[in-house]
Structure 1
Amino acid sequence: MAVSQVIRSEWTKIRSVQSTVWTLGLALVVTVALGVLISWLSNREWDNMSEGDRFSFDPTFVSFAGTSLGQLAMIVFGVLVVSNEYSTGMVRTSLAAVPQRGTFLFGKIAVATALALVVGMITSFLAFFLGQAMLGGHRASIGDPGVLRAVIGGGLYMTLIAVFSMGVATMLRSPMLSLGILMPFFFLISAILGNVSATKKIGQYLPDQAGSKVMQVVPPLDGDTPYGPWGGLGIMVLWAVAALIGGYVLLKRRDA
């Protein structure tokens, strides 16, 4: 089967499963809504902030506060796109129709990544502009140095979260096992490793810790990472590529 046919087939599969469509919508709503709320609260609390907090205040990054929760929906989307076929047994039919497993995986990942990128970019720009509206006189402009990079980076960050999750789900095949590993990894293990002084140097190279740097415009006062915003995103790309390679290798070697 030609690659174009595989891509059309995967597009039909994804849009016909309501759960995958809903998770993308949820990622947008949660990220934007929480970002707006935190931006509004930050504006109200400005007069109570210390001098140090005001100096390091990053209005752009504040509007992305909802990303930490919105990425949960992106993780679920990435897992469901891949593992739905395994849980229903439809993967056998798909692989019978597309025996070239590399083509099968490429078509699925390409369509899902394109969808995640579109939703991620819309989410990032909406979160920024609505968040800045809530910040009043403390807002940033899209033309300020580093701001456009951060906004575009926010969309790329959410996309890469989904891609990394797809790679992990391809390796593990089970939706419950994939979510059972990814959720604690991003919401517990990464946070602990990134905030404990003994493990901070390790934590800063985890995908979410490194990738989120691209959304920052004002460096934190205690920031000592050995890479910049694009360097952090590059580290996240390497994680996503490694997960996809692992998924491809296992897909080639084992039975459906």
Structure 2
Amino acid sequence: MTDALASEWLKLRSVRSTWYVLGVVAVTVPLAAFLARQGVDAWDGLPPARRAGFQGQAMEQALLPLVQLCLAVLAVLAITPEYATGMIRTSVTAVPRRSALLAAKAAVVAAISLTAGQVAVGAVFLACRAIVGDRPIPPGYTTGVSEEIPLVLASGLSVAVIALVALGLGAVMRSTAGAIVAVCVLLFVLPLAVNLLADPWNDRIASVLPSNLAAQLVDHPSAVGGLPPPGALAVLSAYVIVALGAGAVVLARRDA
């Protein structure tokens, strides 16, 4: 297993796409700082009467879907190009236990995405808090730093969850474009579609969507949905188990 892990780590760090993806993730920090500066300038120019209606979403949450998508792309590229080039045959020859091969890919993707997610979300949070200072800009900057740390950590964890789901989708679909489109539907299309549903189904379905689970995991006041933290953790785990389980079954049963 150690050799498989080393091999998968070598594959990911030796391709340019990995560094391109991580570069885009890194760009979210100055982008967030720029947007926060713009928001602060707008806030400072408003009279007190108009500040109550000002909306300034926390940048770490506004840009979280972008970070999730970037690491999901990295996860998809950890497996689908091997099918496109035929290198998957070499991989399964080197690691005959296909479940072990997928597990090695999952471990490497999880480590990279968790690290990158936590660093990016944390850096955006700290940079924007420093820029905003003590301005009580609603709704994203009315709480203290210590109160937001659990949500920041949960958001970084959600990046790894989405990446592992994307890896499973890549193993099932064997198509880079198809897997990325599926992730985009999960992250962007479904949340919008759920808003069109009538009560109470919109809230019930929204509560189990990946985009809403991080806040429920730490019982944050901004959480959409009514899942308790253990329930949110169970749903997050289910996403990973189902996606990787399906990927393992397809990888084992289909010819490389």
Per the normalisation by structure 1, the TM-score is 0.84
- Provide Cα deviations, 1:98-120, integer angstroms capped at 9, x if missing partner: 11111111111111111111111
Counterpart AA for 1:254: R
In 2, Cα distance between equivalents of 1:15 and 1:240: 23
Q: CA deviation at 1:37?
A: 3.5
Q: CA deviation at 1:206?
A: 1.7
Q: Which moved more, 1:106-115 or 1:68-77?
A: 68-77
Counterpart AA for 2:232: G
Partner of 2:86 in structure 1?
Answer: 89
In 2, Cα distance between equivalents of 1:241 and 1:49: 45
Aligned length: 242
Partner of 2:236 in structure 1?
Answer: 236
Counterpart AA for 1:20: T
Instruction: Work out whether residues 114 and 156 of structure 2, in 8 Å CA contact, stay in contact via their aligned partners in 1.
Output: yes
Instruction: Provide structure 1 residue ranges, at least 5 long, that are not aligned to the other structure.
Output: none
Q: CA deviation at 1:94?
A: 0.7
Counterpart AA for 1:251: L
Partner of 1:22 in structure 2?
Answer: 20
Q: 1:33 aligns with which of 22, 30, 38?
A: 30
Counting aligned pairs with the same residue, the percent is 29
In 2, Cα distance between equivalents of 1:79 and 1:168: 8
Counterpart AA for 2:191: S
- Provide Cα deviations, 1:19-40, integer angstroms capped at 9, x if missing partner: 022212312322x234324433
Partner of 1:49 in structure 2?
Answer: 51
Counterpart AA for 1:114: A
Alignment of 1:6-21 (within 5 A): 6-21=4-19
Is structure 2 residue 154 aligned with structure 1 residue 153? yes
In 2, Cα distance between equivalents of 1:36 and 1:49: 21
Counterpart AA for 2:20: W
Measured on the aligned residues, the alpha-carbon RMSD in Å equals 2.5
Alignment of 1:1-256 (within 5 A): 3-30=1-28, 32-46=29-43, 47=46, 48-50=50-52, 61-138=58-135, 141-142=144-145, 144-145=146-147, 147-193=148-194, 195-198=195-198, 199-200=201-202, 201-211=204-214, 213-214=216-217, 217-219=220-222, 225-228=225-228, 231-256=231-256
- Provide Cα deviations, 1:163-216, integer angstroms capped at 9, x if missing partner: 1111111111111221232223322233221x2242512233122232354588
Q: CA deviation at 1:71?
A: 2.0
Instruction: Provide structure 2 residue ranges, at least 5 long, that are not aligned to the other structure.
Output: 136-140
Per the normalisation by structure 2, the TM-score is 0.84
Q: Call closer, same or farther: CA 1:6–1:103 in 2, change over 3 Å.
A: same
Q: CA deviation at 1:95?
A: 0.3
Q: CA deviation at 1:122?
A: 0.8
